[in-house]
Structure 1
């Protein structure tokens, strides 16, 4: 999830663990704990793009990391605060839950997380977008109200817990929404007599009303979307896999690593004389209506026998138009 959401979650967890004893400082240290796992983004400045992408939401987002770092951080804070009524164990408990709930929440997003690192098993339930106001805003409001209440009071505890309950409840609801959208999409495939091997569904940006779908249909992918306000059947657009043309490049180790990251949802194609690697998991963005672009794509270049990848993000100058189209699509076809 986005940084603000993780700060709010960490602060609320910190309050729940130690708020009665240390007051607002529990929120502060909880917010810090909730931020620490995302420091793995520093890998972008220390290594190549492919390796940094592999490391993202890896070790720092694992149970192992939480278990190792919680007592270390707890001991360090105890040396600073010297609170005998809390002890290093109390601070360690705060840090464990702050560190652990971060990747636990990330597991519900499209990117997912390697919660069980070093085992190569990425959890990605694909039921909430990385930025979702309905998850974050009620949570944030409850946290702010709690912060202005007297330490240790029942009302402060209740309002903080309410934020946790509301956000968790919404997360559970999104699982049911995903199931309902996935059902509608698979039924549309069957009604249109489309043969497929697998389907991946995920929410469109910042909502859980509109859902996007990737469909593996043999030598091509189908991409479609479904809104709960739709009145017309789901329509799909075909995107050829172009596997034969990219066979040689796809066999290279660096590209195989990208394929593993994207869990096989990819298209390799040539554009203006350059090879482009498209990661299909995050869908399309219609900056140019005539030619939608995949959100995550990489320009591949070979230098001295090594293939390097450079992230090619969409030009976001026309964001107002993009969000306008998104809102129109949410309201139904």
Structure 2
């Protein structure tokens, strides 16, 4: 999830664990701890694209990280804070750490909660930024901040924020189930012979859902709103995996394919190959759009080793997508 959401979650967890004893400092440390797992993004400054993608939401988003680093930070904090109970501080950091990847597991990228085991949890029931999750949560957190440390209202407001936000996540799982049924019925009605289907919410909402459908030679992407009255239109993207040629056997290419979970296409422009991660679709609701959210140019060095360069996304595409979303959410 986005940084603001993780700050809010971390602050609320910190308050729940230690708020009665240290007041708003519990929120402060919870908020800080809630952002620490995302420091793995710094890896992109020191390594290649493929390795950075593998590291992202890996070790720092695991239970092991939470267990190892919670007591370390607790030890450091007790050296300068007046509250010296290391066990309490450890619990604050542990829960602020571990709830971060649990929330991230609800998104399309997922998390390696059980690192070092190669298991990426990804439920795909919320978009990485979801105002309906974050804003009510933030409102209750602000109310909590202005209550006295031992006030019953303080605990009530914080608990309400945690309960409402968690309940919303449960609701999104139910909505995901309904959308999945809608897509499977439509696929059957259109006689689409498919291998696999995955669904996820479109940006900033859980009313308009997107399905990725794998067929023998292509992937189909379609959108469905709960307010739709017409059949779903699917965009078709040929896999074109054969364009990789001998590169398909290179370890770095295989690692990139593993990262995408096999949901990728290859396109060729002016003798240059591009790797398109279909899990995140395109920055457009138009049929057969080509502005993929994650597209990587494939180059080969003098030693025959491929390397990837992410294509910069156009701001105008993002702005148009936001304007088109509202119209599409209301139905087709």
TM range (shorter): over 0.9
RMSD between superposed Cα atoms in Å: 1.4
- Equivalent residue number for residue 88 of structure 2: 90
Q: CA deviation digits over 1:216-242, x for unaligned, max 9?
A: 111111111110010001121211111
- Equivalent residue number for residue 141 of structure 1: 139
Give 1:98 shift: 0.2
Asked whether 1:51 is paired with 2:46, we answer no
- Equivalent residue number for residue 211 of structure 2: 213
- Equivalent residue number for residue 6 of structure 2: 6
Give 1:321 shift: 2.3
- Equivalent residue number for residue 61 of structure 1: 61
Q: Is the 8 A contact 1:265 1:279 kept in 2?
A: yes
Q: Is the 8 A contact 1:295 1:313 kept in 2?
A: no
Distance (Å, rounded) in 2 between the aligned partners of 1:313 and 1:256: 23
- Equivalent residue number for residue 79 of structure 2: 79
- Equivalent residue number for residue 311 of structure 1: 310
- Equivalent residue number for residue 278 of structure 2: 280
Aligned pairs for 1:160-199 (under 5 A) are: 160-199=158-197
Q: Is the 8 A contact 1:225 1:234 kept in 2?
A: yes
Q: Is the 8 A contact 1:287 1:293 kept in 2?
A: no
1:295 alignment partner, SS class? coil
My pick for the range that moved more, 60-69 or 284-293, is 284-293
- Equivalent residue number for residue 251 of structure 1: 249
Give 1:253 shift: 1.2
Distance (Å, rounded) in 1 between the aligned partners of 2:215 and 2:317: 32
My pick for the range that moved more, 53-62 or 308-317, is 308-317
Distance 1:290 1:194, change over 3 A: closer
Distance (Å, rounded) in 2 between the aligned partners of 1:41 and 1:318: 24
- Equivalent residue number for residue 33 of structure 1: 33
Q: Is the 8 A contact 1:132 1:206 kept in 2?
A: yes
2:299 alignment partner, SS class? strand
Distance (Å, rounded) in 1 between the aligned partners of 2:2 and 2:192: 36
Distance (Å, rounded) in 2 between the aligned partners of 1:146 and 1:291: 45
Q: TM-score, normalised by structure 1?
A: 0.97
Q: Is the 8 A contact 1:112 1:122 kept in 2?
A: yes
- Equivalent residue number for residue 329 of structure 2: 330
1:277 alignment partner, SS class? strand
Q: CA deviation digits over 1:140-188, x for unaligned, max 9?
A: 0000110011112110000011000110000000000000001100110
Q: CA deviation digits over 1:125-147, x for unaligned, max 9?
A: 00000000000000000001100
- Equivalent residue number for residue 155 of structure 1: 153
Distance 1:317 1:18, change over 3 A: same
Q: 2:103 aligns with which of 102, 105, 126?
A: 105
Q: TM-score, normalised by structure 2?
A: 0.97
1:285 alignment partner, SS class? coil
Q: 1:131 aligns with which of 99, 115, 129?
A: 129
> For this pair of structures, how many residues does the alignment match?
331
Distance (Å, rounded) in 1 between the aligned partners of 2:317 and 2:67: 44
Q: Is the 8 A contact 2:207 2:329 kept in 1?
A: yes
Give 1:198 shift: 0.4
Q: Is the 8 A contact 1:15 1:30 kept in 2?
A: yes
Distance 1:290 1:58, change over 3 A: closer
Distance (Å, rounded) in 1 between the aligned partners of 2:285 and 2:312: 11
Unaligned segments of structure 2, at least 5 residues: none
1:294 alignment partner, SS class? coil
Unaligned segments of structure 1, at least 5 residues: none
Q: Is the 8 A contact 2:283 2:317 kept in 1?
A: no
